[in-house]
Amino acid sequence: MDLLEISRRDLLIQSGRAFAGLALFNSTLLAQVFPSREGEEVIPFLDQPPEPPKPERNLLKWEEFDSWITPNNKFFHIAHYNKPVIDEKNWKLEIAGLVKRPMTFTLNDLKARQRKEVIFTLECSGNHGFPWFVGGIGNARWGGTPLAPVLKEAGLLDKGIEVVFIGSDEGEEEVRGLKMKQNFARSMSREDAMNPKNLLCYEMNGEPLPQLNGFPLRLIAPGWYGIANVKWLQRIEVRDTRYMGRFMAKDYVTIREEQHHGETVWVQTSVGRELIKSVPAKVTRKDGKYRIFGAAWGASIQRVELQIDGGPWIPAKIDRGQEAEFAWKIWTLDWDHVSPGEHTIVSRAIDTRGNIQPAMDDPRIAKKHTYWESNGQVTRRIRLS
């Protein structure tokens, strides 16, 4: 059983770390226990994603969703350029640009600093719905050292307004017929970069960061879409102008029609913070009783509701993840009085301020012309016998 395997694996990881406190150990194990029922059977949805065009991305298969923490070998990976294999002996992180004291750090230097963990659900902003790209998401326990004190030590100059995170991976870009080599990079405003939650991350679920997830170091920016979490980090550069690279200003741009004083305006924004979202993950049957499982993330989740066959919204039960601000919540609904035949299931998440995950026909979704940041309500179809 998958669940037991994960627990055993976690046990090995935890016991390998000599001084892991018993309380932490217990709570981690407890948190991973999925609200599943022994021997239940998963009923496949009718709307299946097509065969993944890029199997190497290792996307999440929602019907196999059975762990609050996504194990490293089941975590998706997306790389836009090459996938550098880095020898940590030859690697350094450089802090450069508009700082008083340019600095370099080896991996051991970073590991010697304050260590922090965050459980954060990383979602690719391209995850735009069934039956297309949906599995670019996973939840991991990321370990590393906080970024803000490192930047403080380097001393940002007053005119430094932009912090650029540059990866080791590179590709060719073309602007106005000019071809040039570029490294993958994303930026944040000085204020966003200094957020105490940001980590220079070298560990994923208690193991060194896997190569495809950015070994030896990546940025983990809890609350931001995947694209902001720069992998294979090699240089952090402080500038006095906005960074305009491909993944900030050209690609990963949301284009939406908005109404300004009754006029239609096309607005372009760079993909940014995660948005409130939920998805029905799977339906199971045990002794003729059905249970719907799902996840909700991207905001501080107050509740999740389900609509079956266009009926009233029914509250689901949130079972896991309430304690972790940036992690997905796992919810379930015991589905009674089910008749044979075809059914639709829709979920919506509501945040602690009362904001509701938008319906697909909400102008925020319907008037969006690029597929990024698609947090509309997901409808799934199923046939029961």
Ligand X SMILES: Nc1nc2c(c(=O)[nH]1)N[C@H]1C(S)=C(S)[C@@H](COP(=O)(O)O)O[C@H]1N2
Residue span 307-336 as binding mask against ligand X, x where in contact by CB under 6 A, dash where not: ------------------------------
- In the complex, the smallest distance separating the C-beta of residue 169 from Mo ion, rounded to whole angstroms, is 14
- In the complex, the smallest distance separating the C-beta of residue 230 from ligand X, rounded to whole angstroms, is 5
CA-only gyration radius of the chain, Å:
22
Can residue 124 be called a binding residue for Mo ion (CB under 5 A)? Answer: yes
Strands in 224-361 per DSSP E: 233-239, 253-260, 263-270, 277-286, 289-297, 301-308, 313-315, 317-320, 329-335, 341-351
CA atoms within 13 A on the CB side of 316: 33
Residue span 126-145 as binding mask against ligand X, x where in contact by CB under 6 A, dash where not: ----------x---------
Among ligand X, Mo ion, none, partner that 65 touches (CB below 5 to 8 angstroms by kind):
none
Residues between 177 and 236 with contacts to ligand X, criterion CB under 6 A: 184, 213, 226-227, 229-232
- In the complex, the smallest distance separating the C-beta of residue 209 from ligand X, rounded to whole angstroms, is 8
Can residue 10 be called a binding residue for ligand X (CB under 6 A)? Answer: no
Q: Which two tokens stand for residue 328?
A: 């997905």
Can residue 138 be called a binding residue for Mo ion (CB under 5 A)? Answer: no
In the complex with ligand X, the residue whose CB is nearer, 78 or 279, is 78
Give the Cα separation of 237 and 306 in Å (integer): 45
Nearest to 271 by CA among 374, 125, 164, 123: 125
Structure-token match 């925020």, residue found: 364
- Residue 120 near residue 365 (C-beta atoms within 8 A): no
Nearest residue (beta carbon) to ligand X: 226
| Omega prior to 131 cis, within 30 of 0 | yes
Among ligand X, Mo ion, none, partner that 229 touches (CB below 5 to 8 angstroms by kind):
ligand X
- Residue 357 near residue 376 (C-beta atoms within 8 A): yes
Interface region with Mo ion, contact rule CB under 5 A, candidates 19-27, 119-127, 190-198, 365-373: 119-127
User: Applying CB under 6 A, what is the total number of residues that bind ligand X?
Assistant: 20
Residues between 192 and 221 with contacts to Mo ion, criterion CB under 5 A: none
Residue numbers of the site for Mo ion (CB under 5 A)? 78, 124, 226-227
